[in-house]
Amino acid sequence: MTATALERLKELLGEPACWGWARPRLWEAAEGHLGVPLPAGYKAFLDLYGPGAFDGFLHMDRPVDGTAAELERLWPTSGPKSHLDDPDRYPFPFHPQPGGLIEWGGEEDGAVYYFLPEEPDPADWRMVVETDEGEWQEAPGPVTEFLLNLAGRPHRPGPAHRYRQTPTP
């Protein structure tokens, strides 16, 4: 049997230090807020590892209390309409517009990672990265495969791959 991308990530990153809890009601609240289901692999990764940073540069977050304020902080419903004003700079709509980008991660240098929810099945959504230079790059999903591809690139010097959890308040 072939290992799933999540299983291969777990082999690469090791056991999570202390997270490992799933709270379906939090994801249900998030999806209710967004009005679309989120990819199962994304939820499973964050249920296993929690909020934190992949390889110390790609920060990922997830709901921890499910309040309206937290969900709005993670996924604002008053998304930018920049693509209407400057389609050359912003070639994609932003959520909550239909098919609009949904942010799922970011880097300290300003790069932002999005889901492109054009496919009916969230597992088929492509990833879109807005670089810190304002360039747009697309990559196939699912997010766990995307993370494996990032791990396979010599993109950052330093120790072996790891995921550091963000302390929760």
Q: Decide: residue 162, CB within 10 A, 0-12 exposed, 13-18 middle, 19+ buried.
A: middle
- Which range of residues forms the domain containing residue 128? 5-157
CA-based angle 16:22:28, to the nearest 5?
Answer: 140
pLDDT in tens, 87-112: 677 888 888 888 899 999 999 889 99
Measured distance CA(160)–CA(6) in Å, rounded:
18
Q: Which CATH number belongs to the domain containing residue 122 in this structure?
A: 3.40.1580.10
User: Residue 30: how many CB atoms within 10 A of its CB?
Assistant: 20
Is residue 42 in a domain? yes
Is residue 54 in a domain? yes
Is residue 147 in a domain? yes
Looking at the structure of the chain, the number of domains it has is 1
The sign of the dihedral angle between the CA atoms of 83, 134, 5, 16 is: negative
pLDDT in tens, 16-75: 877 667 889 999 999 999 999 999 999 999 999 888 888 778 999 999 899 999 999 999
